[in-house]
Chain A
Amino acid sequence: MPSSKRPRRAPLRRVLLVGTAKGAFLVWSKGRRWEIEGPHWLGSKVHDFRLDPRDGRTLLMTSTGGHLGPTVYRSTNRGRTWREASRPPAFARLARGRKKPGADGTSRGVSVAVNFFLAPGHAREPGVWYLGTSPQGLFRSEDGGDTWKGVNGFNHNPTYWKWSGQGQVGTPDGSFLHSIRVDPRDPKHLYLSMSQGGTFESTTGGKKWAPLNAGVAMDFFPGPPREYGHDPHCMIIHPADPDVLYQQNHCGIYRLDRRTGDTWDRIGKKMPKRVGDIGFPIAGHPRDANTVWVFPMDGTERWPRTSPDGRAAVYRTQDGGKRWQRLDAGLPKEHAWWTVKRQCFAVEDVRPQPALVFGTTSGDIWRGANGGESFERIAEHLPQIYSISAARL
Chain B
Amino acid sequence: MQVCLGSILQSYTGGRGEVTATGRTVDGVLKDLDRQFPGLRFRVVDEQDRIRPHIHLHCNDAMVHDLQQRVQARDTLHILGALSGG
Contact of A218 with B by CB under 8 A:
no
Contact of A84 with B by CB under 8 A:
yes
**Quick check: B47 and A67 within 8 Å, CB to CB?**
no
**Quick check: B42 and A90 within 8 Å, CB to CB?**
yes
A183-214: CB near B (< 8 Å → 1, else 0) gives: 00000000000000000000000000000000
Among the listed B37, B43, B49, B84, which residue makes an inter-chain contact with A69, where contact means beta carbons less than 8 Å apart? B43
Q: Which residue of B lies closest to A69 (CB)?
A: B52
CB distance from B42 to the nearest CB of A (A): 7
* Number of chain B residues close to chain A: CB under 8 A: 20
Q: Report chain A residues within 8 Å CB of B49.
A: 93
Contact of A263 with B by CB under 8 A:
no
Chain A-chain B contacts (Cβ-Cβ < 8 Å), number? 52
**Quick check: A111 and B47 within 8 Å, CB to CB?**
yes
Contact A112 to B37, CB < 8 A, known contacts A67-B55, A67-B82:
no
**Quick check: A110 and B38 within 8 Å, CB to CB?**
no
**Quick check: B47 and A93 within 8 Å, CB to CB?**
yes
Q: Which residue of A lies closest to B50 (CB)?
A: A111
Contact of A86 with B by CB under 8 A:
yes
**Quick check: B52 and A68 within 8 Å, CB to CB?**
yes
**Quick check: B42 and A88 within 8 Å, CB to CB?**
yes
Could you list 7 further interchain pairs (A-B, Cβ under 8 angstroms) beyond the known A1-B38, A69-B42? A2-B12, A67-B81, A69-B46, A71-B39, A88-B42, A90-B42, A111-B47
Identify 5 residue pairs between A and B in the complex whose beta-carbon atoms are under 8 Å apart, listed by A's number.
A67-B55, A86-B39, A94-B48, A109-B48, A111-B47
- List the 6 closest pairs (A to B, CB-CB), nearest first: A2-B11, A90-B47, A111-B46, A67-B81, A67-B54, A68-B43
